[in-house]
Structure 1
């Protein structure tokens, strides 16, 4: 007898990893990592625990996959010749500037580090790498805009953004990022100004 799985069984297993990751993304984002159990994940993704563990070694592995899945949609865009770099810098403070198509509660990376407190662990390392890349991309935009110290401006805007997102979550509104945008505009204009106070021309 052949050990080859039947066509029906192959069809039933198809897309299981994607369903598990989709369910994890929705549940981890809405209610947190620790509040989401494996039974809930298997039910939401319509798979057995055996199937779930065939794709992910455990919950920590699933958390890492969830964070990797979010990364590109939550990073600022690269400098573009078709857009004003100043506006690209400020766009991170606009509602729904990212490309993730579901509501976020705070920063998923900060939330994960709080819920999985292992300073030398993979979640911490992944979150740190994301935050570093976030600031690096802002620095690249600041450089294109003509900032005198693009690295410093990138770090300041990243810090301001993180604080605003945290306050948004606490107060369950977006007022903090709206106010942060005005503060950011002042920081950007100051960084782009010549010593005499006029704005530095954007490099060609």
Structure 2
């Protein structure tokens, strides 16, 4: 059986998008360090020279790849004045299974993977991964506050750690089903935090002049 002929290198319109698409598919499927520029150029249908026209180095391409995933991988923002139940549902939605983006083994969180594959904390890709994780926890904290959690920052950090733990375990087990277990744990954490807040809110209301009247 003959192998399919790789696409002829071309630099034309859309080359940057093809390169970034190829990088996303390959980095997600086999990792950053295992993917070379020759393979990237072949998959994108461009020459290596063209690849370097759009991305001066592999590091720059890695940063663009992570940047392209940033929005979709962050928890959704609630409306300015959401109902507490809506914020609770957004917290739980973080643990809903994500559709696979590439064939092959389960790869978990691309930002965790980047942090492991590029261990230098001063490397731009590592800094980008760390910034994403901080923003991830911050978004969860804001949702926890809107849901009425007793200690929003604590709950936000707990849920962020739970999310990362489920992703890492999923990679080890080659299974995306760890998110279902994580969601059930998240539900307990969230409802416990909300229950602790309820008596405090009731007590505060009893102390107001309106309540006393």
The bucket for the TM-score relative to the shorter chain is: 0.7 to 0.9
1:169–1:132 Cα change, 3 Å: same
Q: Distance in 2 between matches of 1:115 and 1:20?
A: 21
- Say whether residues 1:42 and 2:44 are aligned partners: no
* Residue in structure 2 matched with residue 61 of structure 1 by the alignment: 60
Counterpart for residue 136 of structure 1: 138
Contact (CA 8 Å) 2:150, 2:197: kept in 1 or not? no
User: Which deviates more from structure 2 when the two are superposed, residues 28-37 or residues 174-183?
Assistant: 174-183
CA RMSD of aligned residues (A): 2.2
Looking at structure 2, the residues matched to 69 and 194 of structure 1 have their Cα atoms a distance apart, in angstroms, of: 39
Identify if the C-alpha distance between structure 1 residues 135 and 69 changes in structure 2 by more than 3 Å, giving closer, same or farther: same
Structure 2: runs of 5+ lacking an equivalent: 1-9, 203-213
- Number of residues of Structure 1 aligned to a counterpart in Structure 2: 187
Distance across 1 between alignment mates of 2:66 and 2:159: 22
- Could you say which residue in structure 2 is the equivalent of 1:117? 119
User: Segments of 4+ in structure 1 off by > 4 A?
Assistant: 195-200
Q: Where do residues 1-204 of structure 1 align in structure 2 (5 Å cutoff)?
A: 13-80=12-79, 81=82, 84-96=86-98, 102-103=101-102, 105-194=107-196
- Separation of aligned partners in 2, 1:172 and 1:102: 14
1:33 Cα shift? Answer: 0.7
Give the C-alpha shift of residue 194 in structure 1.
Answer: 3.7
Cα separation, partners in 2 of 1:185 and 1:197, compared to 1, 3 Å: farther
Q: Please say if residues 24 and 41 of structure 1, whose CA atoms lie closer than 8 Å, have aligned partners that are also in contact.
A: yes
Give 1:198 deviation, angstroms. 10
Partner Cα separation in structure 1 for residue 131 and residue 119 of structure 2: 16
Q: Is the 8 A contact 2:32 2:114 kept in 1?
A: yes
